[in-house]
Amino acid sequence: MLRKLAIRNVRRQLGNYLIYFMTLALVTALLFAVNNIIYSDNLAVFVVDEEEAQMVLAMATVLISAVVAFVLSYAGSFMLRLRKQEFGMYLTLGMSRGDILKLFFLENSVICIAALGVGAAAGLFFFQGFTAVLMNLLEIEFTIAAYSPEGMLRTALLVAGVFFFASLASAFYLKRVSIYGLLHGAMKVERKVKHPYVWFVVMAVSLAMMAICGLAFFREVDAIMLEGHRMDKAMGLLLILGIFLLLFHMGLAKGLVSVLLRRPGLCSRGAGTFVLRQLSGTLSINSLMLGCLAFLLSFAVIGADTSFIAKTMLDDMLDQEAPYDILCHAEKSKNSGFLEEAEKVAGEYMEIRERLSYGIYRSGGHEFNEFTGWYQQYVEEGRGWADFQDVFMKLSDFNKIITPLGYEPVFLEGRFLIVGTALETSQLSWSDMIFEHKGKKYAFQDCRTDYPLLCYERFYVILLDEAVADMECHEEYAAYRTAGVKYDAAELWERLHGIVLRYRRDGGAYNCGFVLREYSKLEKDESAAVLVLGALFTAGVFLLLAMAILALKTLSAMGEDRRRYEILFRLGLGEEGRSRALFWQTFSFFLLPFAVPIAMGIPAAMVGQRIMELGNMEGSIDAMPVIAGSVAFVMAAVYLLYYMAAYLIAKRAVRVG
Amino acid sequence: MEKVLEVRNVTKYYGGGSVVAKALDGISLSVEKGEFTAVMGPSGSGKSTLLNVIATIDRVSAGEILLRGKRLTEMKEKELSVFRRDQLGFVFQEYNLLDTLTVGENIVLPLNLRRADYQESRKKLEQVSEALEVADQLDKFPGELSGGQRQRAACARAIITDPALVLADEPTGALDSRNSKKLMETFRSMNRAFGSTILMVTHDPVVGSYADRVLFLKDGKVWNELYRGDRSRQAVYREIMAVSAALGGEGAFMEGEEPLAAETAAPMPEGTSVCYGGPGMEGAPAAGEGRGLMGKDASMEGEVSKC
């Protein structure tokens, strides 16, 4: 009998369960897709470090499933609230609490099984979509990916776990609530917000603190990029920002509306007071929830922005860090054979079209290093000079290797040029420095940090060839341009690495090395893929959950709102007026935890621009607002979809006449 | 006297196809300015339907309704909303106060919906809340008030816009006898002090006895009509009882009627009569003209009986 009633109830409550069901199905689809990617055989081909990628994504799914379970149990309470009179009636008619629990559990099982089915079906497509994104990020040609039984099983287990946890929370509520509470819960006397002005001040202070944290974070980015600060302070600032974000939303929910209500002259006209009162009750009760949602949404926005910014940065960094297809270097005195051997092995994998050789020279002095802070620091620590000998490159060598990369040739008229590979180099005041060598004086011309990595020193000095001619050639470099045919970069890397280890064993650490562009690209693409996929998955789930909570919360109150809107109808508020009031009531509620997070895209884009600017990736500066705008657009589109669904259902629920 | 409300030959059907119920059967009546009219009748007589179609909450199937000369039956939904807002005041059995608004906000809501000036609204709120004795309850929420206080607040909301007509649907339905009496005194004071025209549906003869005029409905038609004239409320009450008995064939046919209070249990005075009649009460005297019971007119089907 209970089974029959449960199925009938689900059919009858289909409209109310729609958003709950949609959310569960979409989350299931996302979990299905990500789990299949984690356990897909294709992933082994995609990534260099399969285990690490698997672990990161697996942890993300478990963590997110825990958040889903928590949020859905919260959402379940709205479903209960929506139907509490019905459950109260069952109790009054003599059903036991156990029967009602079974009924609710059966109903939820029907929904869960249906959501699992629909979610898995949608997940089949989501998986192919995600794989396509992944392959695109890895620049691999798209092929239909195979499904993994392990991934499917893991999805079913996670969804079952989520469902079990959510049902447990509902069962707990049903076990405790009184019949009176179920039947007359709607008739509770509204409690006024205590100390609304205090909350208003909390809101204002939190907003100011958020702005201060944002500015401090912005400056900390500079310090990290220019002075090599650690990330601890920046992370701390983000944490403080998150706390004030929570407080701001709590203050906004509790303070603003209540303060407005105390100024009836401002907004009492039309249905203003009604809308504010509707909001006041909902917002003050749910202020913590709204703060948490704002936190989740901010996490989703910033996470998605950061992942795309990082992807852009990684793409740009490849050109910076590996400008040539292969770049090998070796200390001349110890490993001169390394370059030839490496070239021979590389030739087995690719057609080498051009070899550009250049050298790094030492004068034996350390005049340039004396200008640097790190030099002073090392001297104070009593460390040797050897690491801080000044390093030079011939102008002709420099022009030879930068012009094929699209840079203008450099002209020096009796001056020197400093090329920094560390950003802090550009922060030093070199302009007063005069370099004396062989009786000639060279003045400072420029300090550039925007050239790609062509020498593994913090900075090197470009001088006219004749000035360098008599210096000792310390290190030899060979840059190779190839035909650009695809090859097994991982295998070549392994072989070259083996050679490096052999030479280092014989000649000491760091005396030779190589950079393989294709392998660097693989590594960066993998990082970008895991980052973007993880961020998109997290952002998608958080957004869905937040929207579902807002929609369910709105709809669960509609039973009570219907009567209120009917009174407005009788008092002469026309359909247009009622629709407007409903719009403001629901839209304000939806907008409150969404507005600030979506606006977070602006500082995220600014930080991204600053990072690009400082990292000499000017070409990507303009991409930052586009990334932030695109993320905001997609999130706003999902938001609008949910809002429209909730609004239309609510409108139908309160329709009179 | 100015006719505020005219109901002309109004018919209302519910249902469709083979299952059709006639709730109003060509009913006609009029209400004059400043009149306090009660509509009584047994269950299913059409009194609530009559109130709903006058309130424009429901549409008529045939006939027309005019309020201050305007044909409500021809108005569109948007015009009707404006009409309800500007011309009608409502008092309902379940108070229909918005639980999320304070009493003061509830009372002033109709003025806000009109986008009235804030200062004027405040002044008007003070005026009606003082008159209806809810001035010290304005900052409370409805849930914090007693039933009687809530209904007085609802009355204050109904008259704050100076509507052409106040419609009350079983206003004492959720109140005990003491609060019912107090509310009816409030209605009378609204009628006298503010000149409100009131049309009230009730099943309670005691409540009906406060009205200047009582319309009895049966099967969707006006079956009888009583005028208070100069007579006491007790006298009117006895007449209502008599008509009720005749209408329902028993002493007290109305559902949920309360036991007679001592003050209303006196025997009917000499000369009291009840008019049995069907529709067509055009010859009835106006309230306060002192004609006592209505005179017999040509359309009456029964005879005037002496109780």
The DSSP code for A391 is: E
In this complex, do B100 and A278 lie within 8 Å of one another by their Cβ atoms? yes
Q: Assign A566 a pLDDT band (cuts: 50, 70, 90).
A: confident
ipTM here? 0.71
Q: How many structural domains comprise chain B? A: 1
Nearest-CA distance B178 → chain A (Å): 24
Q: Which of A304, A299, A363, A359 has its CA nearest to residue A330?
A: A359
Q: Which chain B residue has its CA at the smallest distance from A280's CA? A: B100
A573 touches chain B (CB under 8 A): yes
pLDDT by residue (tens digit) across A513-530?
Answer: 899 998 888 888 877 877
pLDDT by residue (tens digit) across A12-38?
Answer: 777 667 777 888 888 888 888 888 877
pLDDT by residue (tens digit) across A441-493?
Answer: 899 999 888 888 898 888 899 999 988 888 888 889 999 998 877 788 888 99
Q: Assign B283 a pLDDT band (cuts: 50, 70, 90).
A: very low
CB A351 within 8 A of CB A485: yes
B contacts of A277 (beta carbons < 8 Å): 98, 100-101, 105
Which of A155-164, A219-228, B282-291 is the least confident region? B282-291
Q: Which of B203, B214, B216, B209 has its CA nearest to residue B170?
A: B203
Residue A193: burial class (beta carbons within 10 Å; 0-12, 13-18, 19+): buried
Tokens of A247: 């407080």
Give Cβ neighbours of residue A651 (< 8 Å, ≥ 6 apart).
A579, A582
**Angstrom distance (rounded) from CA B42 to CA A158:** 62
In this complex, do A189 and B141 lie within 8 Å of one another by their Cβ atoms? yes
**Angstrom distance (rounded) from CA A634 to CA A601:** 12
Q: Which chain B residue has its CA at the smallest distance from A281's CA? A: B100
pLDDT of residue A411: 92
pLDDT by residue (tens digit) across A384-437?
Answer: 656 678 899 999 999 999 999 889 999 988 899 999 887 778 778 888 888 888
Q: Which chain B residue has its CA at the smallest distance from A571's CA? A: B85
**Angstrom distance (rounded) from CA A46 to CA A134:** 8
Of residues B77, B97, B112, nearest to A272 (C-beta): B112
A185 touches chain B (CB under 8 A): no
A269 touches chain B (CB under 8 A): yes
Nearest-CA distance B11 → chain A (Å): 19
B14 touches chain A (CB under 8 A): no
Distances (CA, A) of A392 to A448, A467, A475, B225: 14, 10, 10, 116
pLDDT by residue (tens digit) across B164-190?
Answer: 888 988 888 877 888 888 888 888 888
Q: Could you tell me where the beta strands, DSSP code E, fall in B189-228?
A: 198-201, 213-218, 221-227
Torsion of the alpha carbons at A107, A112, A115 and A121, rounded to the nearest 10: -130
Residue B249's CATH number = 3.40.50.300
A contacts of B85 (beta carbons < 8 Å): 571-573
Sign of the C-alpha dihedral computed for residues A563, A567, A570 and A574 taken in this order: negative
pLDDT of residue B259: 38
B contacts of A271 (beta carbons < 8 Å): 112-113
Tokens of A591: 């907008």
Of residues B78, B110, B121, nearest to A571 (C-beta): B110
**Which residue is it, tokens 């497509």?**
A125
* 3-class DSSP state of A41: helix
Based on its alpha-carbon atoms, the radius of gyration of chain B, rounded to whole angstroms, reads 19
In this complex, do B115 and A272 lie within 8 Å of one another by their Cβ atoms? no
* Domain range enclosing B282: 3-306
Distances (CA, A) of A638 to A75, A539, A544: 18, 11, 8
The DSSP code for B217 is: E
HEC letters along B36-73: EEEEECCCCCCHHHHHHHHCCCCCCCEEEEEECCEEHH
Domain residue limits, chain A: 1-188, 193-285, 323-521
B95 touches chain A (CB under 8 A): no
